[in-house]
């Protein structure tokens, strides 16, 4: 059992079984069921990302099989993925003519602010907009 307030030391990925997630409220003095976890779900990332105590209590509803990923490994994977994504964005931005007068630091700040969006064939990508700036970068899914 994972208890609300405990130190968050692992990310858990459910392979088999079901769990319930509860949060205790000081205001109501009651536990509230937040969600159910099933195979393929994961929890515990917030405690690792923010070095914070567990935000909820997790109780096994059935026998479970779960995989744990410790803080060091999790941080390495997340930082590595973020670095690769940022490098790809910076490489793209260095080719944008409008931005070629910027120094690499300024372009890196833009790279940090980019938010990827996905569209399906036939979707409108941009309609009439005011005070917005769009960069359209088309990439294969395995690029980033």
pTM for the predicted model, two decimal places: 0.59
pLDDT of residue 116: 79
- What CATH number did the domain enclosing 43 receive? 2.60.120.10
Which residue is listed with tokens 């459910």? 14
Per the structure, the count of domains in the chain is 1
Task: Provide the pLDDT confidence category of residue 24 given band limits of 50, 70 and 90.
Answer: very high
Grouping H, G, I as helix, E, B as strand and the rest as coil, residue 78 is: helix
Task: Flag whether pLDDT at 127 surpasses 60.
Answer: yes
Rounded-to-integer distance, Cα 19 and Cα 61, Å: 5
Residue 132 domain boundaries = 1-144
């Amino acid at each position: 059992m994972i208890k609300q307030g405990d130190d968050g030391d692992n990310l858990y990925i459910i392979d088999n079984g079901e769990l319930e997630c509860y949060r205790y409220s000081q205001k109501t003095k009651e536990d509230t069921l937040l969600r159910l976890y099933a195979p393929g779900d994961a929890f515990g990332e917030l405690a690792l990302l923010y070095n914070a105590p567990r935000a909820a209590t997790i109780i096994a509803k059935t026998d479970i099989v779960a995989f744990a990923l410790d803080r060091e490994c999790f941080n390495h994977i997340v930082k590595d993925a973020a670095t690769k994504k940022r490098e790809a964005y910076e490489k793209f931005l260095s080719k944008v003519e409008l931005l070629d007068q910027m120094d690499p630091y300024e372009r890196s700040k833009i790279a940090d602010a980019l938010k990827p969006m996905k569209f399906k064939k036939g979707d409108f990508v941009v309609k009439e907009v005011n005070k917005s700036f769009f960069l359209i970068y088309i990439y294969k899914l395995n690029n980033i």
